[in-house]
C-alpha cells in the first residue's frame, strides 16, 4: 500500500496525506517527540485537542525500558500508551551514536552498554526490525550508523556501506503482515558523492519512504541544506520524505520549501522546560527580568490554554519557583505554536502562496524583539 498521496505542490513544497494504520496524516507534518511513548509534560488528550495526530517514540529506549516484548504482550504501543494517533519509531541509530565509548559498531550490528543500568546488548538490523514490530508503531526506521561532524571521507564511506548493508538486511527481515511501513535512512555525512550513493542504493530497495539522516550534528546550517539539496530531487516523488531530528521553525520553513514532508525534534518541548517560548517574533526567554511584571500573555491572540489564561509574569514566576506546572503550561504553548505553524504552511501550499508566506514569516521571526 502506498504511504503518501500528494494533493498539491507549490514549487518544491508538497501538500499531502500520509497514509498510516492509525489515520491519514496531513503533511507537511511535525511530530512531537515522545521518546518513552509519551511527550514530556503532556497528556494524549491535550495533544489531540491541539491537532497532533502523529508522534515519535524511540525504539532504542523502549527496548531497554520497559522492553519491546512486554509492550507486545500489552497489545502494542497504542494500546499500552492509550494513544489513538499514528506513531513512528526511530531505530536508535543516533542514540547509539551518542553513547560514544559505551558502544562498538561491528558489521553484524552494534554492541553497546545500557545508559540505564550498564547491561550489555547486541542489536542487529534484524533485531531492530523485530523490536519495532513488537512495539507496533505505524512507521519503523532501518538501523543506520550516524557519523559525527566532521568525519573523514574514508570513515564516512565505510559507514555508508555499512548503513546500506544494514538497510538491505532490515528490508529482508521485515514482516509482510500488518500495515507497518519501513523507511530507509540516507547517510553520507557531508560529502555530496556519498549522499548521492546512499540515496541511489536505498532507492533501489524500494522502501516505503526515505529519511535524510545524520544532519544537525554540529555542522553549519548552510552545509546541512546543501546535503538536503543534493538528494531531494533523487527521491521518488510518490514516497514520503522525512528530515530527522530537525525542527526549529526556520528549519521547518526551509525544509518544506525543499519538498520535505515529515519532521521531528525535541526542541519545542525541551526549550519549553527551560523557559523558552516560540512566538511569531522569535524565541522568548521568560526568565528575562523584564517579564517579571508583564501582564500580557506570551503571544497576544494565541488561543492556547497558557496564553488564554496566564500572564508572562505568572509563567515566569512558576519557572523561577521550579514549579512542575511550568513544564506543563510552557509545553502546551510551544506544541500549539508548532501545530498552528504547520497548519499555516499547509494552507500556504494549498493557496499557491508559499513563497510569500516564507518571506513574511522569515522577516517577522528573524527581526522579532524576543530572540536574544
The question of whether 233 is a catalytic residue gets the answer no
d(C-alpha 143, C-alpha 127), whole Å: 9
Q: Is 139 exposed, middle or buried (0-12, 13-18, 19+ CB in 10 A)?
A: buried
Residue 268 three-state SS: helix
Question: How is the beta sheet containing 120-123 ordered, strand by strand?
Answer: 103-105, 110-113, 120-123
**Size of the chain, expressed as the number of residues it contains:** 372
272-275's contacts with Cβ under 8 Å and 24+ in sequence apart are: 272/41, 272/327, 272/330, 272/331, 272/333, 272/334, 272/335, 273/40, 273/41, 273/326, 273/327, 273/330, 273/331, 275/316, 275/319, 275/326, 275/330
Per annotation, catalytic residue among 10, 90, 138, 261: 90
Per annotation, catalytic residue among 10, 138, 208, 264: 264
Q: Which three cell numbers stand for residue 127?
A: 533485531
Residues whose CB falls within 8 Å of the CB of residue 302, separated by 6 or more in sequence, listed in order:
308, 333, 336, 337
The question of whether 226 is a catalytic residue gets the answer no
Q: Are 196 and 164 in contact (CB under 8 A)?
A: no
- Among candidate residues 90, 73, 9, 86, the one with its CA nearest the CA of residue 44: 86
d(C-alpha 115, C-alpha 331), whole Å: 26
Residue 2 three-state SS: coil
Q: Which three cell numbers stand for residue 89?
A: 519509531
Active site residues per annotation = 90, 264
Amino acid at each position: 500500500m502506498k504511504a503518501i498521496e500528494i494533493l498539491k505542490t507549490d514549487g518544491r513544497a508538497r501538500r499531502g496525506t500520509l497514509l498510516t494504520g492509525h489515520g491519514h496524516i496531513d503533511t507537511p507534518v511535525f511530530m512531537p517527540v515522545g521518546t518513552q511513548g509519551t511527550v514530556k509534560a503532556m497528556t494524549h488528550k491535550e495533544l489531540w485537542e491541539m491537532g497532533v495526530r502523529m508522534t515519535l517514540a524511540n525504539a532504542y529506549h523502549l527496548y531497554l525500558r520497559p522492553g519491546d516484548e512486554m509492550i507486545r504482550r500489552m497489545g502494542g504501543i497504542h494500546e499500552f500508551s492509550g494513544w489513538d494517533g499514528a506513531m513512528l519509531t526511530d531505530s536508535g541509530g543516533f542514540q547509539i551514536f551518542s553513547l560514544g565509548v559505551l558502544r562498538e559498531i561491528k558489521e553484524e550490528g552494534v554492541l553497546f552498554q545500557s545508559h540505564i543500568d550498564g547491561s550489555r546488548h547486541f542489536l542487529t538490523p534484524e533485531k531492530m526490525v523485530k523490536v519495532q514490530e513488537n512495539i507496533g508503531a505505524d512507521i519503523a526506521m532501518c538501523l543506520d550508523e550516524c557519523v559525527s561532524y566532521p568525519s573523514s571521507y574514508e570513515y564516512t564511506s565505510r559507514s555508508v556501506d555499512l548503513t546500506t548493508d544494514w538497510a538491505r538486511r532490515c528490508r529482508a527481515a521485515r514482516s509482510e503482515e500488518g500495515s507497518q511501513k519501513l523507511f530507509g535512512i540516507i547517510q553520507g555525512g557531508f560529502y555530496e558523492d556519498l549522499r548521492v550513493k546512499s540515496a541511489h542504493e536505498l532507492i533501489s530497495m524500494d522502501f516505503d519512504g526515505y529519511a535524510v539522516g545524520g544532519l544537525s550534528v554540529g555542522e553549519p546550517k548552510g552545509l546541512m541544506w546543501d546535503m538536503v539539496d543534493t538528494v531531494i530531487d533523487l527521491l521518488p516523488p510518490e514516497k514520503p520524505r522525512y528530515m530527522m531530528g530537525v525542527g526549529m521553525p526556520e528549519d521547518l520553513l526551509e525544509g518544506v520549501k525543499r519538498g520535505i514532508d515529515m519532521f521531528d525534534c525535541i526542541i519545542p518541548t525541551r526549550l519549553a522546560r527551560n523557559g523558552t517560548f516560540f512566538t511569531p517574533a522569535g524565541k522568548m526567554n521568560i526568565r528575562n527580568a523584564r517579564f517579571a511584571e508583564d501582564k500580557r500573555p506570551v503571544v497576544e491572540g494565541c488561543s492556547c490554554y497558557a496564553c488564554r489564561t496566564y500572564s508572562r509574569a505568572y509563567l515566569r514566576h512558576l519557572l523561577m519557583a521550579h514549579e512542575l506546572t511550568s513544564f506543563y503550561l510552557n509545553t502546551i504553548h510551544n506544541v500549539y505554536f508548532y501545530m498552528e505553524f504547520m497548519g499555516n504552511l499547509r494552507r500556504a501550499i494549498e493557496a499557491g502562496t508559499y513563497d510569500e508566506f516564507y518571506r513574511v514569516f522569515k522577516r517577522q521571526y528573524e527581526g522579532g524583539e524576543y530572540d536574544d
